[in-house]
Structure 1
């Protein structure tokens, strides 16, 4: 009898460990079994979460290094409208990219295909971005996940140190609503429960800044910001934030985690930079040089023209 009870206890213990789930600090309670970010590496097959090149990070601008090779990106198919499904997956909202959209340039290792996008946010429009800049945390952060076009699945791409490239965009509070986000925010309002989904029609361009606002960015090698934290991500974090009104930002805090708690503060704390270097693009400096050169050439033409 005692042996049977012991075996039952062991089986129960193993089942608990097999069923371990990761969570954010905002979900944790003493009665829960979920593992918060400081313990993700203790979950089976998630040892990489304690690696030396983890994300997100705090970007200290005065310590970044200029890289003139970080030129503007070439975007293909980002303007194409596609039909997809937006899902509350219990940790965030996620939208698969159901069209052929590619990004290249910007010193990326070839052409990358957009796979999906998701977001991280705070509480009612408060601090919630994953990356921070000089210690400042923005209200929300968008991640557009892309992978090298030669791969057929994200899992295969994650075996390559530069197999995945994530485009990260901050949000800031604006006094006016961003009309481009109306359809997206309306879709978010229909998926409050974990596991809920609804159809959505959009293009990637509608959720991104205009290309001329994408010239200033930071670049560093990092990881996924959720388990299993694979260190296979080329990170591009853009400086210029996307404006949303307070009410638009607050819409995300009405979503619910799997345990029906408010889905708030869905970000991993910043990780040690260790020996990595964060590079910055020439950005506005290059644009300014082009403008100055154009003005100078125009002046030279006027001076050389006969009266």
Structure 2
């Protein structure tokens, strides 16, 4: 028997009571189906393809924007994700966060710089290590990469009291006894990342000229070129200015978002001119769009504690001590 579903009354049983509904017309069916089809289309548009940044997303480019990274990479929905906003008044001073020891950071090397379709990345071919700073062991540098905004606009991944800097540098390290990053990421503290912020300067930072110059040769995705001789030390502030930093437990900031990272974020920013900052926005994503807005939005803290080193407090105390000594000397001389 064929039943015409548009003419036959429909019945819904609720707690043994039968409610008879009026016949459902074809017009009513269309009104119900249309929103479902539109929602299905939007879901397909929003959830298909590889991961991407919000600046890349459009229905012409089907990709998973940051809010949907966990659809394909479940760890991206974890409770210990990065980046975060650091609220300085809520940080806790930790006396164990002593100055770092940097080994072979001054050693120059000639690496390869690559546009990997999401960022600029440079492998570190020499043995450069960090220790101290309350790290459980020494970690060796693997690579560094950057995150930026649009033509020098806000672009850092981490924020300090809600402030987003123009760009952020990540120097990625793994425990010294591991031979590859994949293995290190299986260790809950297998990776240590040093994060540095950038600020706008009125003059160019000549130490960055090898990188800025190389960007002209890697505008297209997957482009790579040899980098002029550089050292890790020339890219970051002087070692004596690296005593003030924040520490927390987090994750990679790109899929798969593995929660195996000991994060260290330094207070003192690196100066770059506006022209140097804008050079990064001339690169291209895989789809040919300008590579801008290459940062993940900040993630919930979910009860994690952010610690700070004692450097800032020690420096303030020293300044007060010097002021007191100067005042005392002034008084003794007047007598």
TM-score grouping bracket, smaller chain normalisation: 0.7 to 0.9
Residue-by-residue CA offset, 1:46-102 (whole Å, 9 max, x unaligned): 100000000000000010011111010000000001111000000000000010100
Counterpart of 1:41 (choices 70, 73, 80) is: 70
| Residue aligned with 1:82, SS | coil
Pairwise CA RMSD of aligned residues? 2.1
TM-score under structure 2 length normalisation: 0.80
Residue-by-residue CA offset, 1:4-56 (whole Å, 9 max, x unaligned): xxxxxxxxxxxx9xx8310001001112221001001101xx10000000000
User: For 1:153-164, what aligned pairs fall within 5 Å after superposition?
Assistant: 153-164=180-191
User: For 1:172-183, what aligned pairs fall within 5 Å after superposition?
Assistant: 172-183=199-210
Runs (4+) of structure 1 moved beyond 4 Å? 287-297
Tell me by how many angstroms 1:296 deviates.
10
1:266 aligns with 2:294: yes
Counterpart of 1:139 (choices 142, 145, 166) is: 166
Give the equivalent residue in structure 2 for 1:81.
108
1:103 aligns with 2:111: no
Q: Distance in 2 between matches of 1:211 and 1:292?
A: 23
The runs of 5 or more residues in structure 2 that have no matched partner are 1-44, 326-335
> Which range is displaced more, 224-233 or 173-182?
173-182
Q: Distance in 2 between matches of 1:272 and 1:288?
A: 31
1:122 aligns with 2:149: yes
1:278 aligns with 2:303: no
User: For 1:280-299, what aligned pairs fall within 5 Å after superposition?
Assistant: 280-287=308-315
Give the equivalent residue in structure 2 for 1:22.
51
Q: How many residues align?
A: 280
Q: Distance in 1 between matches of 2:246 and 2:300?
A: 17
Q: Distance in 1 between matches of 2:183 and 2:58?
A: 35
Give the equivalent residue in structure 2 for 1:301.
none
> Which range is displaced more, 186-195 or 231-240?
186-195
1:248 aligns with 2:249: no
| Residue aligned with 2:111, SS | strand
Q: Distance in 1 between matches of 2:305 and 2:53?
A: 28
Tell me by how many angstroms 1:284 deviates.
3.0
Tell me by how many angstroms 1:287 deviates.
4.3
Tell me by how many angstroms 1:286 deviates.
2.8
The runs of 5 or more residues in structure 1 that have no matched partner are 1-15, 298-307
Q: Distance in 1 between matches of 2:190 and 2:318?
A: 33
Counterpart of 2:215 (choices 188, 206, 219) is: 188
Give the equivalent residue in structure 1 for 2:8.
none
| Residue aligned with 1:198, SS | strand
TM-score under structure 1 length normalisation: 0.87
Q: Distance in 2 between matches of 1:58 and 1:30?
A: 30
Tell me which of the two structures has the higher relative contact order, counting C-alpha pairs closer than 8 angstroms and 6 or more residues apart: 1
Q: Distance in 1 between matches of 2:317 and 2:181?
A: 39
